[in-house]
Amino acid sequence: MRGKTVRRLAVLAAVGLLCHGAWAGTWNIGILAMRGEASTRSHWQPLAKTLSQQLPGETFHIQPLDLHQMQEAVNQGTVQFVITNPAQFVQLNSHAPLRWLASLRSTRDGKAVSNVIGSVILTRRDSGITTAHDLIGKTVGAIDAQAFGGYLLGYKALSDAGLRPERDFHLRFTGFPGDALVYMLREKAVQAAIVPVCLLENMDQEGLINKKDFIALLSRPTPLPCLTSTPLYPDWSFAALPAVSDALADRVTRALFNAPAAASFHWGAPASTSQVEALLRDVRQHPQQRRLWLDVKSWLIQHQLMVGGVILAFLLLTLNYIWVMLLVRRRGKQLERNSVVLHQHERALETARQMSVLGEMTSGFAHELNQPLSAIRHYAQGCLIRLRAADEQHPLLPALEQIDQQAQRGADTLRNLRHWVSQAQGNPVLTEAWKAIAIREAIDHVWQLLRMAQQFPTVTLHTEVSAALRVTLPSVLLEQVLANIILNAAQAGATHLWIVAERTENGISIVLQDNAGGIDEALLRQ
């Protein structure tokens, strides 16, 4: 009986050991390495040791990480717990549902202080920079674009001071550890630096720098013995990832809350993140704001066929609109050209109608005048014949000869007028035969026909034309051209006209020159 009891106890002990082994494990705590890996391990190792002691069979390890490494470790599940500032907790919580177990409780001079995270904007005391606006055009260093105390809080303070950090000065991000940024400021590599609160004082206590060499811009009163340029926010938080069981999370939480009085870290209930989330929204770094584009992108990917169809339809409509506008523009120009041609045709028809009426009137006048002129010539010639038969020196002979010549001139004038009108109505070849015309006689005839001596007595004609020089064409054409250019010169104010005609290799050249001054340069350019 006693042997059976011993065997039962041995089995129960073995089962207990197996169960205990099933609950035992190794856990990694990812911690934001604000001052580098070595400093982070040294600072937080007592916490890992305390948890390992209070949770028998469980082993905790410290894993220092920067902001981007922390995000990657959470996504890949290489850490089971994280300790970081509340801003990064909000950002991490958007990717994985973290459980906030506790918030760090800091003490200053024996008193508990709930808000200890902030930023201080440092400059060298000898830099001459005393106000935030002195930073315009300078180089300002920061840890990371997503660092809470190392950039975002300082960014908000400078924006509230009326500056535009992205435009008013040059930003230079140095990454972790934050100590390097203070060294760069000391060596004048940057003119100002945004660093977490109390980093300057901690480095001074460690003998790394002399804090008296630096001053704070936008300084604010604070319960901490540290310079600050911003309001203070809740301390760091301890959170568990979804892979951690509820039982283990409860045990860790109890261990944190029940830490011995001599422990390096004391923890309390999680602090509210509302203040932090409001600031993240102000600086447009809240995960929900940045996730909006991701949601839009995801929706576009899920409905890419519909979106592609809409884009294609919009593109086709745009191309159709462009094509229609081109057609409208092309047809509009064509209509304008057609309108111009139509107006020209209308003017031509009106001119033709007027010339037709003028031609009919001219023909009528010529017909009516030719009869009396012919009668006058006949009477004059009859008188000349009778008087010459009676007396070759009769005093009336010159007068009768002048009557005959003037009647002939009137008949020629009517004939030329009819020819000019018919030329305006059609081809002059159909109205007058081609013949050899003496150029000099044509010039004299036009001069007399235009009555230049009476109409323009100040105009003197100079001709250098051989009497034997002739051109073959309808006489009305040459006379019309000569009349036009002679009248144009006289009406332009010319007092001397020179007409030169000579035979060339290609035909006959007739040149008219005058002293009227020529055509204005502006009109020639038009």
How is residue 241 annotated by DSSP? -
The pLDDT of residue 60:
93
Which of 520, 522, 435, 526 is CA-nearest to residue 477? Answer: 435
Give the per-residue pLDDT at 27.
92
pLDDT of residue 217: 92
Please check the confidence at residue 15 and state whether its pLDDT lies above 50. no
pLDDT of residue 346: 86
Where do the domains of the chain lie?
A: 21-111+237-271, 115-234, 299-334, 433-526
**Calpha distance 526→510 (Å, rounded):** 27
Of the listed ranges 299-308, 429-438, 443-452, the least confidently predicted one is 429-438
The mean pLDDT of 360-367, rounded to a whole number, is: 74
Write down the mean pLDDT value for the chain: 81
d(CA 191, CA 497): 88
What DSSP string describes 9-73? Answer: HHHHHHHHHHHHHHH-EEEEEEEE-TT-HHHHHHHHHHHHHHHHHHSTTEEEEEEEE-HHHHHHH
Distance CA(106)–CA(113), nearest Å, equals 5
115-234 has which CATH code? 3.40.190.10
Residue 23 has a CB neighbour count (10 Å cut-off) of 14
- Count CB-CB contacts under 10 A for residue 484: 11
Judge whether 21-111+237-271 and 433-526 match in fold. Answer: no
pLDDT band at 287 (very low <50, low <70, confident <90, very high): low
Q: Average pLDDT of 158-183?
A: 88
Cβ neighbors of 296 (< 8 A, separation 6 or more) are none
Least confident of 19-28, 60-69, 272-281: 19-28
User: Residue 427 — very low, low, confident or very high, per pLDDT cuts 50/70/90?
Assistant: very low
Tokens 């105009």 belong to which residue? 459
Q: What are the residues whose beta carbons fall under 8 Å from the beta carbon of 173, sequence distance 6 or more? A: 141, 142, 143, 144, 145, 151
pTM: 0.50
Residue 416 token pair: 């030329």
Mean pLDDT of 290-309: 66
Q: Which residue has the higher pLDDT, 61 or 223?
A: 61
CA 445, CA 409: separation in Å to the nearest integer?
A: 10
Q: Is 491 helix (H, G, I), strand (E, B) or coil?
A: helix
Instruction: Report the topology of domain 433-526.
Output: Heat Shock Protein 90 (3.30.565)
Average pLDDT over residues 439-464: 85
**β partners of residue 170:** 139
Q: Where are the alpha helices (DSSP H) in 283-396?
A: 287-302, 304-390
The pLDDT tens digits for 121-153 are 999 999 989 998 999 989 999 988 888 888 888
Q: What is the pLDDT of residue 441?
A: 86
**What's the rounded Cα separation, in Å, for the pair 424 and 428?**
8
10 Å CB burial of residue 407 (0-12, 13-18, 19+) is buried
Query: Under a CB-based contact definition with an 8 Å cutoff, are residues 489 and 451 in contact?
Result: no
Higher pLDDT, 407 or 29: 29
pLDDT, tens digit, 9 for 90 and up, residues 232-247: 888 888 999 988 998 9
Q: What is the mean pLDDT of residues 9-22?
A: 40
Contact 101, 249 (CB under 8 A): yes
Burial of residue 321, with CB atoms counted within 10 A of its CB: 0-12 exposed, 13-18 middle, 19 or more buried: exposed
Mean pLDDT, residues 454-462 taken together: 88
**Does residue 426 carry a pLDDT above 60?**
no
The bridge status of strand 99-108 relative to strand 266-268 is: antiparallel
pLDDT in the model for residue 167: 85
pLDDT band at 395 (very low <50, low <70, confident <90, very high): confident
User: pLDDT at residue 65 above 80?
Assistant: yes
Task: Name the pLDDT band for 20 (thresholds 50, 70, 90).
Answer: very low
CATH of 21-111+237-271, one of 3.90.1300.10, 3.40.50.720, 3.40.190.10, 3.20.20.70: 3.40.190.10
Q: How many CB atoms lie within 10 A of CB 468?
A: 8
What tens digit of pLDDT does each residue of 251-275 get? 999 998 888 877 778 888 888 777 7
Q: Is the pLDDT assigned to residue 14 strictly greater than 70?
A: no
Altogether, the residues listed in the chain come to a count of: 526
Average pLDDT over residues 458-470: 87
**CA-to-CA distance for 146 and 143, rounded, in angstroms?**
8
User: For residues 134 and 190, what is the distance between their CA atoms, to the nearest angstrom?
Assistant: 14
Here the tokens at position 148 are 């809470």
Q: Region 345-357: what's the mean pLDDT?
A: 78
Mean pLDDT throughout 374-384? 86
Contact 226, 216 (CB under 8 A): no
Q: Please, what is the angle between helix 287-302 and helix 304-390, to 10°? A: 70
Residue 16 has pLDDT above 60, yes or no: no
